[in-house]
Amino acid sequence: MGNMKEPYPMEPGFYLMDCMEGMKHFPDDFFDLAIVDPPYGDGNSEIGGGYTVRGMVQPIQDGGTDSGRASTDTRAWNRFAGGTTFRKYITATRPRQEENNKKSIAWDVSPGKEYFQELFRVSRDQIIWGGNYFDLPPTRCFLVWRKLSISENFSMAMAEYAWTSFKGNAKVFEAAPQGTKTEQRFHPTAKPIKLYEWILGRYAKRGMKILDTHVGSASSLIACHRAGLEYWGFEIDPDYFQKATERLEAEKAQQNLFQAMPGSEQEQLTF
């Protein structure tokens, strides 16, 4: 009986829950690796009632007004973000009831220091996308995701940066952003499954426990599932949670069907 496995505070899985509330359930260093993509906005959680859209500060009100903190390009974006065109885009990608439409783009507010204190408490190692927006210790092992389909003349960033707690050298991974004709993108900051498979292949080992505090499109969880790793994921937005759950369950069903085929073997990542 002495070799019985101690029960987990929460079973592995995907939870509709504020990650701050979720992390409170776990003891220090419970997770071997946290791979997270928190909303970083402008890297400042002290917005004072506003929201941010990938670095663009914008008060929550109709019409869109300049926050006083933005550059000329940012002010132009803020006018667009506060206008009807952007609201139509958000409404199309994130259906909500009419009374919630004004709040539907308030998803990109960066977390405060309490979040990082909890994240570092419950996990041994961390990979934090958007790490250049936060006050984190220096690292030489940063990761860069270069987006192959984004040209230098396009308004979107050509690459994204992740801070890591590892002591290795910097690495670059190239892949097109998530979203195809057969699988439409439903989350603004969705990352490709291949990116997370690459991360797990380099920095994870079998038997590890993985945490994602901001699941979004569930690409990270799908990669963990394919690798046979235990994962805990949190998503606070009900719409994203539902769509991400559907995507994750479709992946599981497809993999189960493949396993059931005569002569088939489950494909897993090699660590």
For 13-53, the pLDDT digits (tens) are 999 999 999 999 999 999 999 999 999 764 444 432 223 33
How confident is the model over 216-269, as pLDDT tens digits? Answer: 899 999 999 999 999 999 999 999 999 999 999 999 988 664 444 454 444 445
* Least confident piece of the model among 4-8, 48-52, 168-172, 251-255: 48-52
pLDDT exceeds 70 at position 119: yes
How confident is the model over 193-216, as pLDDT tens digits? Answer: 999 999 999 999 999 999 999 998
pLDDT band at 127 (very low <50, low <70, confident <90, very high): very high
pLDDT, mean over the chain:
75
pLDDT reported for residue 229:
97
| Chain position carrying tokens 């498979």 | 197
pLDDT exceeds 50 at position 121: yes
Q: Please give the distance of CA 31 from its chain centroid, rounded to a whole number.
A: 17
pLDDT reported for residue 180:
62
Residue (of 132, 147, 241) closest to 192 by Cα position: 147
pLDDT reported for residue 182:
65
pTM above 0.85, yes or no: no
End-to-end CA distance of the chain: 32
pLDDT reported for residue 148:
87
pLDDT exceeds 60 at position 130: yes
pLDDT reported for residue 184:
67
pLDDT exceeds 50 at position 88: no
How far is the C-alpha of 33 from the C-alpha of 21, rounded, in Å?
19
Structure tokens at 79: 């006018």
Domains of the chain with bracketed CATH: 13-39+110-138+160-165+186-260 (3.40.50.150), 50-103 (no CATH)
- Residue range 100-129: average pLDDT? 80
pLDDT exceeds 80 at position 56: no
Q: What are phi and psi of 151, to 5 degrees?
A: -85, 165
Paired strand residues for 147: 175
Helix or strand or coil: residue 199? helix
pLDDT reported for residue 238:
95
Half-sphere exposure of 61 (CA within 13 A, CB side): 7
How confident is the model over 133-160, as pLDDT tens digits? Answer: 999 999 999 999 998 877 777 767 888 9
pLDDT reported for residue 221:
97
How far is the C-alpha of 110 from the C-alpha of 118, rounded, in Å?
15
